[in-house]
Amino acid sequence: MARMIAPIALRMQRAALPGLLSALLLLAGCASAPRQESRVGTQFNQAVAVSPSKRNDVIIMALAQLNTHYRYGGSSPAEGFDCSGLVDYVFRTATDTGLPHSTERIAEISRPINRSSLSPGDLVFFNTLHERYSHMGIYLGHGQFINAPSTGGVVRIDSLDSRYFARRFDGARTLFSAN
């Protein structure tokens, strides 16, 4: 079922159904469990393991952020997002797991996976500033990912196979536990 979400998401984006997503998120938010921090003091645990049952929640929350403005250092829909702020917000809201506001630190606490093993909700990393893990996004399935790409832009869906991102792909990682 999770692999079917990406084509549906693309149709929803084109059909502009933000009201439906907002209603779904409102209902999901009412049923959420108390937030569980993955922090010890100011340090993040090295082992972050999110239940695979939360994959769809991650995708729905990520899609709800489409067209939110980019803002360097941003970490909320109201102020805008940068790439790691988007990932932290989505995982914190959808899974009650707070993450560092740093692509490099998120890479450190996530588990590497093969690109061929990507599942919706996994993370994709890119070298966009001649620096490893300088950009990231959330994989949606079917070669698509959602990200907050750059100043002046908005949260959007891109393809791993696009000329720009294919040349800069830096690896795939996951925060989901193996079982």
Residues noted as catalytic:
83, 135, 147
* Nearest-angstrom CA–CA distance, 149 and 68: 11
Look at strands 43-44 and 75-76 and give their pairing: unpaired
| Amino acid sitting at position 133 | Y
Residue partners of 100: CB distance under 8 A and separation at least 6: 44, 84, 88, 106, 109
Number of residues written out for the chain: 179
Helix 5-15 with 55-63: angle, nearest 10 deg: 20
**12, 24 Cβ separation under 8 angstroms:** no
Where residue 121 falls (left for φ over 0; alpha for ψ -120 to 50; beta otherwise) is left
Q: Which two tokens stand for residue 113?
A: 């996976």
Give 154's strand partners: 69
